[in-house]
Structure 1
């Protein structure tokens, strides 16, 4: 962790004041002298001032021209200071509880002292861990939390047994609360250790995630030492998984060796299975998995870093040539995939069923969309639920005759185009399955529209991209004699327009998507069977 003298100085004073606060409480317990508890409370103002002083210095150190690593380093100082302030607040709570106890004799002082010794050790290691070139000391600080928890839990179990006797219950409960507070202080030490690790590796990271990353990297041929490891934030998926690029400190900042993804075990098991399935069905389209680790309900994947740009990034380039070329390559790739994976099994995407399941989530973000049958004068606007119910009747008779293997979450940020090799790659493959090809195309069209880039030129590129995807699907439908393409595409677009509003907080943009989705459903349910055979989606739907 880089030494920033103004912040480091303030942090050291903060640590010293907390050590004094802790020692005074311990002295009060040893001597059974409540006056020492009052003395510990006198340190609160010093600790508060040291914390505020560090935050003020951090604010003054920030610079608009600071690089990402410098900003992260400052944030880690703030994080450590805030964690220590939380520890001090717990000590303060503990002091008040001790002052209220009629007798300190019931407290089993040995486990409390053991926990205090661990807290003291952690506090004394902080400066050395910051100054160290290794992460060993920071990891030791994190591990102290486990030792504190174990010490407190063992004594709490004894208190529980004593409580069953029905004697001295009030005193036993007070003693239990004290042990609980001491246990929670270990969490503050854990956060301090994580702050130091984060500053060294280049991204905020929790210790269990760091350990999972270390375990994953051990399976890579490219060996990374603790000091050489750097990770770059790559964002967070809508399923809650965090994604990081893993590289070395000695290489360029954006040189990435692999992608590390962590989240719920079920999601990552599905993604691993999806990647492996793509390797079998269409080799080369998915990244190579280097390592899969699981712990409890969490898991992590380390997989190949794919070069190129996602389509939401291509869209922002002023020169349209890469976007056009990327779309053409995508269309050719999809034709190859569909030809290779096509099976003679009819499938229904059940777009309205998908929409029905997400109505609650839509209303959570946009309660104003929940009209419940609005009526103005003689004009009644049906609820979205009613529209979906009517559209489901149409969809019951719709199936694609030959299913193909689809991505399943075909958004602009899950498709990578490498302009140098003119190749397409897929990521985030946990929903891949045999399905109607319109599922992927409709999702992709709306994922372009929902992008919150509002300058006129970009919106024109978005509209042209949406129209190109629709036309590609239309041509493919004619080629395979798919007579229901327009109806299924309209239902798919309606589903995606409406469900995508839950990811968009901009009210005008969300309203536009909501109205487009309702319009398509309303248009379809007004047609009879003969009219639906000749139905064409109005291309105005792709424009603002």
Structure 2
């Protein structure tokens, strides 16, 4: 604890130094002198040294042999981040003083323009210590929002100065003034990061202020009336959806039953709104298969969704860690559930598929990770292999000759980790329904099969279990196709598997394992192009599904 006290003292002195430097910068702009300019430079050097000391102390504590509670680890991380941004503010101050050498007496800044900037900056910096000492979220949010007010002031000044430049008034001086105001605006960016670090200390997870505001408003919309101090938020790491995802638990008043935890998702307006709409659609048809919606909130560009935290294990956890009887049970429940959904939502009218188009739209991120997956054409004697581009172009045209005989309501992204199995209730439920729609059921079949294949576990015993799961699910899908008189099942599945194998490589850094997947995609496209006769006679090589 003594070392934490010393660290806190060092941080307090750094904060006081930056407060003094901001004041000195304001004084310098009002009455520039060489002495003040030199003092600003010395203060910047001093804050750099103080920031380095704090950083060293934080790393030393984090790497000490003594096990620290998570709350102290969070505070160390936050102090280190805040120290960095306090020094950034110091550097912005010195850069402001350097810019003034390019101002003539006639083009000196108007105090009516810059004094409001300093008022906001000073007010925010003065809130840092009380917010840190008291754990006051409201003060942390006020620090963050200084960034918004400074942005607005910068836009106003920038607009006026650019109009005057266009009118031919003091062009060089106005350009320098814009640079100075830009540094003041950038101080707001650092203040926001400091405020977010203070939120992190209290909440325990890294949240941008926009995400915190969205979480707060979404909880309020759900009926939560408590303080954000009563909210426990834990980020879910490893999400590839582009959304911020976390588990939220609230402390209920003593006279109310504790609410089950919930999942909070925040991301682009289009994506979150679509997921909400899809959940509501599923709730209308199969309410027991999807999570309940507790709250929803939209802003101009983003949206947030608060949904039920489903009880159970994801199917990949069951397959990798459960006993074989449990795996068989989960798979049976899944298959029965899918058959019920497909039977109930089946619409007997042809639907065009677009598997190769989906593949092409995701090719860029695949090539960023595996550029070698894009092959050139090659000729040896009379034998020629198509390039990847040729295969995609020709298969895209070929796919247009093949349509699914019916459509069903699909999940759209039926990876094993989007399926939650509850052993006690013997149920499966679905999450991450952003891509759900009326479409060919073989999209879900292919995604599920490849999600088994792409698990990067290579122990023979585990791979045998994975292969067995693949065999069982593929047999189920074939039986469904037979019952539905789906004569082109194997041909469409080949297109769908080519899409799933190739696009899945963007999540796999093991180049050898990824190669097994994209070569399978190439092989399937070649086999489709070589096929002659009706699509009902196409045969899918089943061993391509096994590792």
TM-score bracket relative to the smaller structure? over 0.9
Please say if residues 315 and 462 of structure 1, whose CA atoms lie closer than 8 Å, have aligned partners that are also in contact. Answer: yes
Alignment partner for residue 340 of structure 1, among 336, 344, 362? 344
Cα distance in 2 for partners of 1:104, 1:167 equals: 11
Query: What is the CA–CA distance in structure 2 between the aligned matches of 1:428 and 1:258, rounded to whole Å?
Result: 14
Question: What does the per-residue CA deviation read over 1:345-369, in whole Å, with 9 as the maximum and x for residues that have no partner?
Answer: 1223222232233333322322212
Flag structure 2 segments of 5+ consecutive residues without an equivalent: 254-258
Distance 1:111 1:354, change over 3 A: same
1:508 aligns with 2:512: yes
1:326 partnered with 2:330: yes
State the shift of 1:377 in Å: 6.2
Structure 2 match to 1:215: 217
Q: Distance in 2 between matches of 1:198 and 1:421?
A: 37
Q: Is the 8 A contact 1:24 1:40 kept in 2?
A: yes
> Aligned partners of 1:108, 1:187: CA distance in 2, in Å?
23
Distance 1:191 1:489 in 2: 49
Q: Which residues of 2 match residues 152-301 of structure 1 at below 5 A?
A: 152-235=154-237, 237-248=239-250, 257-301=261-305
Alpha-carbon distance in 1 for matches of 2:208, 2:198: 11
CA distance in 2, matches of 1:404, 1:446: 20
d(CA) in 2 for partners of 1:413 and 1:229? Answer: 26
Give unmatched runs, 5+ long, in structure 1: none
Contact 2:247 2:261 in 1 (8 A): yes
Paired position in structure 2 for 1:48: 48
CA contact (8 A) 2:107 2:170 kept: no
Partners in 2 of 1:7 and 1:420 — Cα distance?
50
| SS at structure 1 position matched to 2:438 | strand
Of stretches 442-451 and 389-398 in structure 1, the one that deviates more from structure 2 is 389-398
Kept in 2: contact 1:134–1:227 (CA 8 A): no
Which among 428, 436, 439 is matched to residue 435 of structure 1? 439
2:475 to 471, 483, 491: 471
| Alpha-carbon shift at residue 329 of structure 1 (Å) | 0.7
Aligned partners of 2:397, 2:149: CA distance in 1, in Å?
61
Of 516-525 and 391-400, deviating more is: 391-400
- In 1, the alpha carbon distance for the partners of 2:73 and 2:339 equals 46
Structure 1 residue 481 displacement after superposition: 1.9
1:8-58 deviations in Å (ceiling 9; x for gaps)? 233222212212222222222233313211210111221111111111111
Matches of 1:397 and 1:32 in 2, distance apart? 77
Provide the C-alpha distance between the structure 2 equivalents of 1:347 and 1:399, rounded to a whole number of angstroms.
6
Structure 1 residues 208 and 337 mapped into 2: Cα distance closer, same or farther (>3 Å)?
A: same
- How far the C-alpha of 1:264 sits from its partner, in A, is 0.7
| Counterpart Cα distance in 1 of 2:400 and 2:151 | 57
CA contact (8 A) 1:112 1:152 kept: no
CA deviation string 1:316-370 (max 9, x = no partner): 3153333322111110100110111111112232222322333333223222122
Cα pair distance change 1:172/1:392, threshold 3 Å: closer
Secondary structure in 2 aligned to 1:235?
coil
Within the alignment, does 1:404 sit opposite 2:404 as a pair? Answer: no
Q: Provide closer, same or farther for how the CA distance between residues 277 and 455 of structure 1 changes in structure 2, counting only shifts above 3 A.
A: same
In the TM superposition, what is the alpha-carbon distance from 1:215 to its structure 2 partner?
0.9
In 1, the alpha carbon distance for the partners of 2:366 and 2:4 equals 46
Instruction: Report how far residue 4 of structure 1 moved.
Output: 4.1
Task: Write the distance in 1 (CA, Å) between the matches of 2:411 and 2:153.
Answer: 49
Deviation at 1:449, TM superposition (A): 1.7
**Distance in 1, Cα, partners of 2:366 & 2:222:** 42
Superimposed CA distance per residue, residues 232-256 of structure 1 (whole angstroms, 9 cap, x where no aligned partner)? 11236434111111113799xxx96
Deviation, 1:203, is 0.9
Cα deviation for residue 440 of structure 1 reads 0.4
The answer to whether the Cα contact below 8 Å between 1:41 and 1:92 also exists between their aligned partners in 2 is yes
Q: Which moved more, 1:179-188 or 1:144-153?
A: 144-153
Aligned partners of 2:251 and 2:105: how far apart in 1? Answer: 56
Q: 1:81 aligns with which of 80, 83, 87?
A: 83
Could you give the per-residue CA deviations for residues 151-176 of structure 1, whole angstroms, max 9, x where no partner exists? 33333333234324423221122112
Question: Is this contact kept in 2: 1:234–1:243, CA < 8 A?
Answer: yes
**Structure 2 CA distance for partners of 1:224 and 1:108, relative to 1, 3 Å:** same
**Does structure 1 retain, via aligned residues, the 8 Å contact 2:222–2:296?**
no
Change (3 A) 1:221 1:23: closer
What CA distance in whole angstroms lies between the structure 2 residues aligned with 1:474 and 1:299? 40
2:469 maps to 1:454: no
Deviation at 1:78, TM superposition (A): 2.1
Distance 1:5 1:420, change over 3 A: farther
Superposition TM-score, scaled by structure 2 size? 0.92
Residues 148/392 of structure 1: CA separation in 2 closer, same or farther (3 Å cut): closer
Matches of 1:249 and 1:92, distance apart in 2: 46
Of 223-232 and 233-242, deviating more is 233-242
Q: Which residue of 1 aligns with 2:540?
A: 537
In the superposition, relative to structure 1, how do residues 185 and 303 fare at CA in structure 2: closer, same or farther (>3 Å)? same
Judged with a 3 Å threshold, the aligned counterparts in structure 2 of structure 1 residues 317 and 288 are, in CA distance, closer, same or farther, namely same
Give the Cα–Cα distance (whole angstroms) in 2 for the partners of residues 413 and 242 of structure 1: 17
Shift of 1:394: 4.6
Q: Evaluate the alpha carbon distance shift between residue 368 and residue 480 of structure 1 in structure 2; reply closer, same or farther with a 3 A threshold.
A: same
Are 1:492 and 2:505 an aligned pair? no
